[in-house]
């Protein structure tokens, strides 16, 4: 019988081991390849990674590269609430660094940024003014990279970016947001107490395009009306013995040492500041630790804590504090009575104890303050002990309302004193950056600098309103009702002096929605209202200040330059040659913006056109005004058309002027009467 030639399964030869291994490797790698393809695809659409904190935006006519601090660069770090991230102020400088320039980079959070003061009254502005006085032959740049609502970890990467731009000195004013800021121990859930090496891994994972895209699609709980800080505060209790406190101090010291090591490795100098807080003026913010007292004991503690401070109450308060060693409120009451008795040293100790016991550590604690000192000592850099200096300047024995606007943000006086402390400590830097101690002692007082930097009643109102809003938050109002009354009363008194038109402008400013870079300056909004009331001189003064409060190379700045010059023309009847040169420089700035692609709103084109008109260049004004029209709406479009109509008339193009007016008469709705008036100027 012939053999069966058909092969059976049992006769098949097994695959070689290497082929099986290759097949298994391919099979296992397919999901990763797919993820890699998706990752690359998403990155093509703008997802993933981290933007640079500083970026070049174009080449100026001089040949220098203009670089800006990017306000929204910190957004990816705010994964808990990306709709309202913290931001830096947009500031700019040139590369290569101009000869004879000392470039100082200020690193920190909102206190370093200068909040709630405007940029021209921030500590960086005072620092520049004071150093310019002590170094009359040198040009001083202070690049303020202070970023709101951010902890120290993201600043490590900010410093690394800044090191690429030829800095001479880094000044660190950090440590206020280690609990509630982006990557703070209380805002990253379980990761808050993990080892510090976990944070770079978190950052790497959060930088994946796939992670960012999925979160962007699924996120629905972020409150667009509140920042991360506003969401965290008032709902988190951090006990005085919580491991989050130890972790916060550890993270701060580790991150600060890492930044200082990077700076030293680059051959750049550094100076580290402790951060000041409101110790004697601000009552504890968090839920009080009553130590298990019964209802009667709690009532007695509440009565003693609420009583007015009196020297005769010290013994009773000491006894109550001994019964409730964890009570921040009792320590605060004891501190106030010690202050009333004249015991400044005892009051300071009790005020600091109350701050450290506060279960809402919205102020730096003794642990985080010491972490800054330890980091400076470990890296061998100059320490500027601002916290201790402020206490020494305070008659209460601990820092209060004179130097602080709220919990950690220096007042106008405080901004100047931080700057002065930094300048004094710069005497300990190497020779090329050292400041002469005699020159520092000869500097004018803080009020002289405030006047020079254009402190004014409107920005004082800006600060008071900002703090009225802050202390109006329910938990703040409960714990510090007197603070709310303080700022609300100041606002109401000033509002009573405003004309109806100015009051409307102030209300519009209050309701404006901020973007990356902040609110429109109140000075500019009030200036426009004053101009409508024909108070030209007062309007010009505020427009000149508003120019200092917005970044260069922005349409805002062009707008304020235009209105400043328009006011001068109205006051004098014509522009001076210096005014005309200022307008020409602003036009060049606007053309640079347009050439670099910054023309989203059309406002740059509009004000370039208006500035040409101030110079009598009517024909040159027409192209930018035409380019602005498609992006203008409502009143802005009407104003743009009025300017364009004027240029057509001045250049003898009556047909174009008539067509523009008739188009507006047909299609502008409620503004048709304005266009009819323009048409009437042309005659039949």
For residues 415 and 459, what is the distance between their CA atoms, to the nearest angstrom? 14
- Asked if 87 and 147 count as a contact pair (C-beta separation under 8 A), the reply is yes
Alpha carbon separation from 146 to 89, 208, 232, 275, 413 (Å, rounded): 8, 26, 20, 13, 19
Please work out, in degrees rounded to the nearest 5, the angle formed at the alpha carbon of residue 23 by the alpha carbons of 19 and 24.
Answer: 115
pLDDT-based confidence at residue 190 (cuts at 50, 70, 90): very low
SS (H, E, C) 353-371: HHHHHCCCCCCCCHHHHHH
Point out the least confidently predicted range of 1-10, 61-70, 637-646. 1-10
How far apart are the C-alpha atoms of 525 and 516, rounded to whole Å?
19
- When mean pLDDT is compared across 232-236, 479-483, 497-501, 670-674, the lowest value belongs to 232-236
Number of other CB atoms surrounding residue 666 within 10 Å: 10
Cβ partners under 8 Å of residue 655, min gap 6: none
H/E stretch holding 463 reads: helix 457-471
Does the pLDDT value for residue 329 go beyond 90?
yes
- pLDDT tens digits, 288-305: 887 777 777 777 777 777
Closest CA to 81 of 246, 288, 219: 219
Radius of gyration of the chain (CA): 30
Higher local confidence (pLDDT), 218 or 406: 406
In the predicted structure, residue 412 carries a pLDDT above the cut 80? yes
Give residue 290's pLDDT: 79
> pLDDT: is 346 or 2 the higher one?
346
Tell me the pLDDT band of 515, cut-offs 50, 70 and 90: low
**Mean pLDDT computed over every residue of the chain:** 90
Tell me if 347 sits within 8 A of 331, measured CB to CB: no
CA-to-CA distance for 98 and 66, rounded, in angstroms? 12
Q: Is residue 67 left, alpha or beta, with left meaning phi > 0 and alpha meaning psi from -120 to 50?
A: beta
Q: What percent of the chain has pLDDT over 90?
A: 72
Q: Given this model, what pLDDT does residue 458 score?
A: 98
Checking if the pLDDT of 46 tops 50, the result is: yes
- Give per-residue pLDDT as tens, 146-182: 999 999 999 999 999 999 999 999 999 999 999 988 8
With cut-offs at 50, 70 and 90, classify the pLDDT of residue 19: confident
- Provide the β-strand partners of residue 337: none
Alpha-carbon distance of 236 to 230, in angstroms, equals 11
279 pLDDT band, cuts 50/70/90, is very high
Cβ atoms of 396 and 344 within 8 Å: the answer is yes
- Identify the H or E element spanning 86: none
* 3-state percent helix, strand, coil for the chain, nearest multiple of 5: 60, 5, 35
pLDDT for 181:
87
Question: In the prediction, which pLDDT does 598 show?
Answer: 83
Find the largest Cα–Cα distance for the chain: 125
Q: What is the pLDDT of residue 341?
A: 93
Phi, psi of 411 (to 5 degrees): -70, 180
Q: Which fold would CATH assign to domain 553-680? A: 1.25.40
- Render pLDDT for 624-669 as a digit per residue (tens, 0 to 9): 999 999 999 999 999 999 999 999 999 999 999 999 999 999 999 9
CATH topology of domain 54-279+366-452: Rossmann fold (3.40.50)
Per DSSP, the three-state class of 630 is helix
- Among 221, 232, 263, 229, smallest CA distance to 74 is for 229
Sign of CA dihedral 310, 312, 317, 318: positive
Q: What is the bridge-based pairing of β-strands 65-69 and 54-59?
A: antiparallel
Q: Spell out a b/e string for 465-489, using b for 16 or more CB atoms within 10 Å of the CB, else e.
A: bbbbbbbeeeebeebbeebbebbbe
Q: How many Cβ atoms from other residues are within 10 Å of residue 497's Cβ? A: 10
Give residue 209's pLDDT. 78
Ordered by start, the domain boundaries in the chain are: 54-279+366-452, 295-357, 456-497, 553-680
Query: What residues have CB less than 8 Å from 277, skipping those under 6 apart?
Result: 176, 355, 363, 364, 387, 399, 404, 407, 408
pLDDT computed for residue 660 by the predictor:
96
Helix spans in 549-576 (H): 555-572
Cis omega before residue 393 (within 30°)? no
Q: Which position has the higher pLDDT, 185 or 105? A: 105
Say if residues 362 and 181 touch (Cβ distance below 8 Å).
Answer: no
**Higher per-residue confidence, 635 vs 28:** 635
pLDDT tens per residue across span 78-105: 876 666 788 999 999 999 999 999 999 9
Residue 620's Cβ-count burial label (10 Å; 0-12, 13-18, 19+) is middle
Rounded distance, CA 400 to CA 277, Å?
A: 8
Q: Is the pLDDT of residue 215 over 70?
A: yes
The CA-CA-CA angle for residues 88, 89, 92, to 5°, reads 115
Higher-pLDDT residue of 204 and 273 is 273
Q: How far apart are CA 288 and CA 291, in angstroms?
A: 9
Per-residue pLDDT tens digits for 525-563: 999 999 999 999 999 999 999 999 999 999 999 999 999
What is the Cα 343 distance to its own chain's centre? Answer: 38
Sign of the Cα pseudo-torsion (549, 554, 560, 561, in order): positive
pLDDT of residue 191: 55
Which residues neighbour 119 within 8 Å (Cβ) at sequence distance 6 or greater? 89, 91, 125, 144, 548, 549
The answer to whether residues 111 and 409 touch, using CB atoms and an 8 Å cutoff, is: yes
Note the pLDDT tens digit of each residue in 232-241: 555 568 999 9
State the average pLDDT over residues 485-492: 97
Sign of CA dihedral 103, 104, 107, 113: negative
Quick check: helix, strand or coil at residue 149?
coil
Q: Characterize the bridge pairing of strands 92-95 and 101-108.
A: unpaired
CA–CA dist 224, 257 (Å, integer)? 34
Name the pLDDT band for 516 (thresholds 50, 70, 90).
low
pLDDT at residue 436 is higher than 80: yes
How does 86-110 read in b/e, with b if 16+ C-beta sit within 10 Å? bbbbbbebbeebeeeebbbbbbbbb
Q: What pLDDT sits at residue 252? A: 97
Cβ neighbour number for residue 446 with a 10 Å cutoff: 18
**Residue 271 near residue 102 (C-beta atoms within 8 A):** no
Query: Which pLDDT belongs to residue 288?
Result: 87
pLDDT band, very low/low/confident/very high, at 594 (cuts 50, 70, 90): very high
| pLDDT band, very low/low/confident/very high, at 1 (cuts 50, 70, 90) | very low
Residue 31 has pLDDT above 90, yes or no: no
């Amino acid at each position: 019988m012939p053999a069966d030639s058909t092969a059976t399964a049992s006769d098949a030869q097994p695959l070689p081991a290497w082929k099986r291994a290759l097949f298994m490797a391919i099979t296992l790698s397919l999901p990763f390849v797919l993820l890699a393809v998706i990752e690359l695809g998403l990155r093509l659409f703008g997802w993933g990674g981290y933007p640079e904190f500083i970026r070049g935006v174009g080449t100026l006519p001089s040949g220098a590269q203009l670089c800006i601090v990017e306000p929204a660069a910190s957004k990816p770090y705010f994964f808990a609430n990306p709709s309202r991230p913290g931001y830096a102020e947009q500031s700019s400088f040139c590369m290569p660094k101009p000869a004879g320039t000392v470039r100082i980079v200020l690193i920190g959070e909102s206190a370093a940024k200068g909040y709630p003061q405007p940029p021209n009254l921030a500590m960086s502005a005072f620092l520049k003014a004071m150093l310019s006085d002590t170094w009359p032959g040198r040009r001083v740049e202070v690049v303020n990279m202070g970023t709101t609502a951010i902890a120290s970890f993201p600043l490590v990467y900010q410093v690394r970016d800044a090191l690429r731009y030829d800095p001479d000195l880094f000044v660190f004013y950090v440590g206020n947001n280690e609990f509630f800021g982006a990557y703070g121990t209380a805002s990253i859930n379980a990761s808050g107490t993990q080892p510090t090496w976990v944070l770079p891994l978190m950052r790497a994972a959060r930088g994946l395009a796939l992670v960012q895209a999925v979160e962007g699609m699924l996120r629905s709980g972020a409150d667009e009306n509140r920042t991360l800080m506003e969401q965290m505060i008032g709902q988190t209790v951090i006990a005085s013995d919580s491991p989050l406190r130890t972790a916060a101090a550890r993270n701060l010291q580790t991150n600060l040492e890492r930044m200082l090591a990077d700076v030293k490795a680059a051959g750049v100098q550094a100076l580290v500041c402790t951060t000041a807080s409101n110790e004697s003026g601000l009552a504890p913010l968090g839920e009080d630790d009553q130590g298990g007292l019964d209802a009667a004991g709690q009532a007695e503690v509440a009565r003693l804590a609420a009583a007015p401070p009196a020297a005769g109450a010290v013994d009773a308060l000491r006894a109550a504090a001994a019964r409730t060693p964890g009570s921040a409120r009792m320590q605060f009451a004891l501190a106030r009575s010690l202050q009333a008795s004249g015991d400044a040293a005892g009051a300071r100790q009790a005020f600091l104890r109350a701050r450290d016991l506060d279960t809402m550590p919205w102020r730096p604690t003794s642990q985080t303050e010491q972490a800054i000192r330890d980091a400076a000592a470990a890296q061998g850099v100059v320490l500027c002990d601002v916290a201790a200096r402020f206490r020494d300047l305070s008659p209460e024995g601990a820092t209060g309302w004179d130097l602080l606007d709220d919990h950690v943000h220096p007042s106008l006086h405080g901004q100047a004193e931080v700057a002065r402390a930094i300048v004094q400590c710069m005497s300990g830097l190497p020779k090329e950056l050292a400041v002469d101690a005699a020159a520092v002692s000869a500097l004018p007082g803080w009020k002289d600098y405030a006047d020079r930097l254009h402190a004014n009643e409107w920005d004082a109102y800006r600060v008071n309103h900002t703090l009225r809003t802050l202390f109006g938050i329910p938990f703040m109002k409960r714990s510090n009702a007197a603070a709310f009354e303080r700022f609300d009363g100041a606002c109401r008194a000033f509002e009573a002096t405003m004309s109806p038109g100015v009051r409307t402008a102030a209300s519009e400013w209050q309701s404006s929605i901020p973007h990356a870079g902040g609110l429109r300056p109140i000075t500019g909004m009030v200036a426009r209202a004053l101009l409508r009331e024909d108070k030209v001189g007062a309007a010009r003064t505020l427009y000149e200040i508003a120019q200092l409060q917005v970044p260069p190379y922005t349409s805002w700045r062009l707008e304020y330059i235009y209105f400043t010059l328009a006011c001068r023309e109205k006051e004098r009847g014509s522009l001076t040659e210096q005014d005309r040169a200022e307008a020409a420089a602003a036009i060049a700035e606007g053309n640079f913006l347009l050439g670099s692609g910054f023309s989203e709103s059309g406002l740059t084109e509009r004000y370039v056109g208006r500035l040409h008109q101030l110079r009598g260049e009517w024909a040159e004004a027409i192209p930018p005004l035409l380019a602005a029209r498609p992006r203008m709406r409502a009143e802005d479009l009407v104003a743009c058309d009025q300017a364009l109509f004027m240029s057509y008339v001045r250049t003898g193009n009556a047909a174009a002027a008539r067509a523009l007016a008739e188009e507006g008469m047909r299609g502008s709705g409620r503004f048709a009467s304005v266009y009819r008036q323009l048409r009437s100027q042309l005659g039949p």
